Chains A and B, each alone.
Chain A
Amino acid sequence: MATERPLVLPGDVIPPSLIPTSANPNKKQQPLRLGPGLRHIPPSDIVPTVAGQLITVPHKNSMWVEYNSSRYTPTPSDLVIATISRSGPDFYYASLSPYTANATLPHLSFEGATKKTRPQLPPGSLVYARVTLANKHMDPEIECVSSATGKADGLGPLKDGMVFDISLGFARRLLMARSKEEGKVEVLELLGEEGLAFETAVGRNGKVWVSGASDAKGNEGVNAKTVVVVGRALQETDTKRLGVEQQRKLVKKLVREMR
């Protein structure tokens, strides 16, 4: 694994010793894979384009620069929370981040949607969607249904609840399959242990949707206080970069204040 993580700036020369060569000579030579933040200038120069940590993984023969940008760049198969800005004849136009071009969401890319049964979404509605097409020359495209199975798999319009802005790096942590073990983010689990009932959806575009679940007696409706506590816990953990222990303290404090 990568042990050395040097800081690189745009235009720096990467020492050749850091560029992974085929680690396993028995296997077939894998081509070197360049991740974000690096560019290849033919014939053989590899130059960073952003300021960040250079990460190399020799056994996968890949390298990239780890950096934090506050503007979301759409990438295929990312899960995002989009706001519908208007509806066209065949598409909804949805905004992924402020001041950027709208993404298109076909009217029929919802579970079981036909021309007659498709969901009618007024401007300002929220959807949880997956990016299907992202290309620097075109506006991004998103969908709310898996094109392979025809199932929604949790995607679709988001009703009620509240959206909170978080940093892109933190959103990525929350989306990790095991965010507690690998991501050091326990705050949602802790809130659950305190007896709060809520559901969340995390978008890679730095948004998290939080909604209070209907309580045990089946009383519909969102408990605003619960949602605010969850949102604040997430935002504070993000901006103050809290560790697990501090997250525990924060959750205790917020829950105490609420009751």
Chain B
Amino acid sequence: MTASTLPEAALGVLPRADGSAKYSHAGYTVTASVNGPIEAQRRDEHPYEAHVDVIVRPAAGVGGTRERHLESILQSSLTQIILVKNFPRSLIQVVLQVEDTPENDYVNTKLVQASLNFAIMPALFQTSVLALLSAGVPMRATAAATAVAVVPEDGAKKIVVDPSPRQIEIAQSVHVLAFTSQEELLLAESEGDFTVKEWDDVYETAQKICCRPASTKEGMEMVLDEEDAGGPDMRHFLRSTLESKVTADLHWK
């Protein structure tokens, strides 16, 4: 099956959670539920702010160290954008269930002890942000994330956005970056060998994807040449997804 190149999302997919989202992009499909603010357990209770609990569950097998690592990265970056001070002594619980990951047709993966790849990070991050927005949890800003790999090609190095599993395998370094809607860098995690120059290039590419400026002229059809920009436009994607959600939600207002 071909992996969809444009991100797709649906909000409010789980009827019993406060907020939920299903997001698929570059072969990854993740469903998230958000419950909160709810009563926190004694050990998680903080007198001045909400505790953000992130749980990542792989599609097959039980979560291990890698999932805990992803959870801790997500937890610290989500705590930054949620207004945790608004809900002292409470808990905001984000559960991320991975449904699909792109398969590498050239390798037989050991699925039973599946551990999640670093490149799934943008999908996890984006789904959590969408689910938080769907739950109406107050936030400082929205955010967008992307994965960028530096892949050697014909002796030169090429920067690839949303790398495929095959590309990750041969990549020299993989980077995950997230930016808030105020264009601040929220998260930067890297894996592999790279130079400062390469990182600068990666940063620029990621920023272009996450923080493309809003269309200058209202009403004019936006000419979005995906080829030209080298990746999807996360910011507009987020806005259009929420536009439909808000209209539907406010029917009874």
Contact = CB atoms under 8 A, between A and B. Distances in A.
Interface of A: 7, 9-12, 37, 39, 47, 49-53, 66-71, 99-101, 136-137, 167, 169-170, 172-173, 238, 241
B181 A68 contact: no
Q: Which 5 A-B pairs have the closest CB atoms?
A: A11-B141, A69-B136, A169-B252, A49-B138, A68-B249
A51 B88 contact: no
Given A10-B181, A11-B142, A51 B37 contact: no
Contact of B243 (A7, A136, A137): A7
A170 to B, nearest CB: 5
A39 B39 CA distance: 24
B239 A169 contact: no
Contact of B250 (A11, A39, A101, A169): A169
B246 interface: yes
A10 B138 contact: yes
A101 B18 CA distance: 16
Classify the interface of chain A: helix, strand, loop or mixed.
loop
Nearest to B15: A239
B253 A71 contact: no
Contacts of A39: 83, 138
Interface in B51-83: 81, 83
The interface centre, meaning the residue of B141, B142, B253 with most chain A CB atoms within 10 A of its CB, is: B253
Nearest to A136: B88
A47 B180 CA distance: 14
29 contacts: A7-B243, A7-B246, A10-B81, A10-B139, A10-B141, A10-B181, A11-B140, A11-B142, A12-B181, A49-B83, A49-B140, A50-B139, A52-B136, A52-B249, A53-B246, A66-B253, A67-B136, A67-B249, A68-B249, A68-B250, A71-B35, A71-B36, A99-B38, A99-B39, A101-B90, A136-B87, A136-B88, A137-B88, A169-B251
Contacts of B81: 10
A70 B11 CA distance: 13
A245 to B, nearest CB: 15
Interface string B28-47: 00000001111100000000
Contacts of A100: 37-39, 90
A11 B181 contact: yes
A54 to B, nearest CB: 11
B135 interface: yes
B96 interface: no
A70 B36 CA distance: 10
Contacts of A50: 133, 136-139
